[in-house]
Structure 1
Amino acid sequence: MKKGLAVSVKKTPSVWEGFKAFLMRGNVIDLAVAVVIGAAFTNIVNSLVKGIINPVVGAFGTKDLDKYVSCLKAPCDFDEKTGTVVSGIPLMWGSVLSATLSFLITAAVVYFLMVLPMAKYLARVAERKAAREGAQEKTEATELELLREIRDALVAQRAGEGTR
């Protein structure tokens, strides 16, 4: 090995350090909070669908939407005790309708209570920022015009001195 040569070796971060840095970023923590709130909100929406929407829809038939079933291959026989299919191929469109209603209500609430107000807020912030930048550009433009006038006046003054 030669004397006097220093070799610099970059230390690569360990997997644990990289994972820790990833977790400490604000985005991951915000995402975790959103997932927890979303899970709690899902319970509220499911209760709303089961407690209010299903009975309203059930006023035209059965109270439980899960009982709305069509038979693809007849006959569809169900065991009343367990609720399982004994024969036939059932299409459980009531369960799909209930899940669709839950999704639509969740999406509407998230959009109208979270997305729409945030979009309006961000638009106002962008508008204010654009107005500030416009005022600053206007100030810079007037300063530039003033400097041009000074330059032109100096050029005219020098031209006037040269004719004497």
Structure 2
Amino acid sequence: MSEKKEPSVWEGFKVFLMRGNVVDLAVAVVIGAAFTNIVNSVVKGVINPLVGAIGTKNLDHYSSCLSPTCEGEQGIQILWGSVLGATLSFVITAAVVYFLMVLPMSKYLARAEARRKAKDGTHEVIEVTELEVLKEIRDALVAQRGSGPNQP
């Protein structure tokens, strides 16, 4: 009897690392970290000053007080400006990802699929045409012999 050797832990680890999705995930994490810095800079340098034209230049300073007095750290404050800033960061990130990554990739894949279907459709038409030509040739040969398909 031949015994199959189990792959070693090291071989399994090498196979795991060589999978494409592990490398893709690592690249996505690095790109995501760099992209976060860009989005935070846009929010801090562009969005916050535009919103700050209405009031304070830093969204973190927008808050509401739930207690009778809110001086310094005393009282119950709702820091809704921080939530607004985080929401704007999320919306900007989602918009950039959608318009610069998802939408172009979707259009590219749709065009590739349309080209593939057009190629497959052309191939099917050619096959049908060849089949029809072969049937015509068969019918012509049968007519030349003068015998029908059911006659010996």
Is TM more than 0.5 here?
yes
Q: Secondary structure at the match of 1:77?
A: coil
Say which of 121, 131, 138 aligns to 2:108.
121
Residue 15 of structure 1 pairs with residue 3 of structure 2 = no
Deviation, structure 1 residue 98 = 0.3
Q: Secondary structure at the match of 1:88?
A: coil
Q: Which amino acid in 1 is paired with 2:104?
A: P
| 1:48 paired to 2:36 | no
Hey, what's the Cα distance between the residues in 2 that align with 1:20 and 1:75? 62
Partner SS state of residue 159, structure 1: coil
Structure 2 distance, partners of 1:134, 1:150, is: 24
CA distance in 1: counterparts of 2:123 and 2:21, whole angstroms? 33
Q: CA deviation at 1:139?
A: 0.6
What corresponds to 1:131 in structure 2?
Answer: 118
Distance 2:16 2:7 in 1: 12
How many residue pairs were aligned?
149
Offset at residue 146 of structure 1 (A) = 1.5
Give the match for residue 128 of structure 2: 141
Does 2:147 match 1:159? yes
- Pick aligned residue for 2:79 from 92, 114, 121: 92
Q: Which has the higher strand share?
A: 1
Alpha-carbon offset, residue 106 of structure 1:
1.0
What TM-score do you get using the length of structure 2 for normalisation?
0.87
Sequence identity (%) = 70
CA distance in structure 1 between the partners assigned to 2:60 and 2:134 by the alignment: 78
| Alignment partner of 1:104 out of 81, 91, 109 | 91
Structure 2 unpaired stretches of 5+: none
Give ranges in structure 1 of 5+ residues lacking alignment. 1-6, 79-84
String of CA shifts for 1:70-113, please: whole Å, max 9, x gaps. Answer: 123443332xxxxxx3x322211111100111111111111111
Matched to 2:133, the amino acid is L
> Kindly tell me: are residues 91 and 16 of structure 1, through their superposed partners in 2, closer, same or farther at Cα, counting changes over 3 Å?
farther
Alpha-carbon shift at residue 27 of structure 1 (Å): 1.5
Code of the residue aligned with 1:22 in structure 2: it is F
Deviation at 1:158, TM superposition (A): 5.6
State which drifts further: 146-155 or 62-71. 146-155
Residue identity opposite 1:19 in structure 2: F
